[in-house]
A and B are shown apart, each in its own frame.
Chain A
Amino acid sequence: KAGVTQTPRYLIKTRGQQVTLSCSPISGHRSVSWYQQTPGQGLQFLFEYFSETQRNKGNFPGRFSGRQFSNSRSEMNVSTLELGDSALYLCASSWGGGAFYEQYFGPGTRLTVT
């Protein structure tokens, strides 16, 4: 079974631009969560989608948004990029939404904002 895939793997953007990251979950998984990982803050939860609906949202500004498609693939968008948005963005999928389901992480998208 193929793992979680994320595209692109690396991205360099300029302040003020916007970016869209993509995540394809493991086949059959209906939940997709997004995390931001930085050396100082660790893994911070962005949002979770289950069956195209946002189930949970972390404490990030409205510049961060996401969506999930009917095939469970998910995208996250960051508008008006700031230098502090430089991070590894990880997507994780699980069979079900919420607690008690282990999460399978993708390799991440390394975003650098200059």
Chain B
Amino acid sequence: GQQVMQIPQYQHVQEGEDFTTYCNSSTTLSNIQWYKQRPGGHPVFLIQLVKSGEVKKQKRLTFQFGEAKKNSSLHITATQTTDVGTYFCAGHDTNSKLTFGKGITLSVRP
């Protein structure tokens, strides 16, 4: 079945540093969604990418969908303590089944 991989599972950065994480799928995706889960909370939708090579920005967050629609990246510029949490990518396969990656937990040292 479809696999969506996020490696590593944990990353620690100093406040103010940039952060980039990647998401890779074993199959071509219809779209990719990113979610953020704060400690003790539930996943919250951040963004959806649909087109090959699409780039979207939300303030300090930049999301990109790969040309082959099999990978995606999230880049955070100048991390802040409010960025702490687990970031999940999730992709839909041709059967419209949503598969989540295991997520990357970001910690930010003030």
Contacts and interface: CB of A to CB of B under 8 A. Distances in A.
Interface residues of A, number: 25
Interface string A40-57: 011111001000000110
Interface in A26-64: 33, 35, 41-45, 48, 55-56, 58-59
A57 to B, nearest CB: 9
A48 B50 CA distance: 21
A98 B30 CA distance: 11
Interface stretch (A15-23, A68-76, A105-113): A105-113
A56 B50 CA distance: 21
A83 B10 CA distance: 27
B100 A102 contact: no
B44 A59 contact: no
B99 interface: yes
Interface residues of B, number: 24
B99 A99 contact: no
Given A41-B102, A99-B30, A100-B50, A107 B96 contact: no
B85 interface: no
B101 A42 contact: yes
Contacts of B98: 33, 45, 48, 99, 103
Contact of B96 (A44, A56, A104): A56
B107 to A, nearest CB: 16
Contact of B45 (A42, A44, A48, A104): A104
Interface of A: 33, 35, 41-45, 48, 55-56, 58-59, 90, 92, 97-100, 102-108
Given A43-B102, A100-B92, A103-B33, 16 more contacts: A42-B101, A42-B102, A43-B43, A43-B88, A44-B100, A45-B97, A48-B98, A56-B97, A98-B96, A99-B31, A100-B31, A100-B48, A102-B45, A103-B35, A105-B43, A107-B42
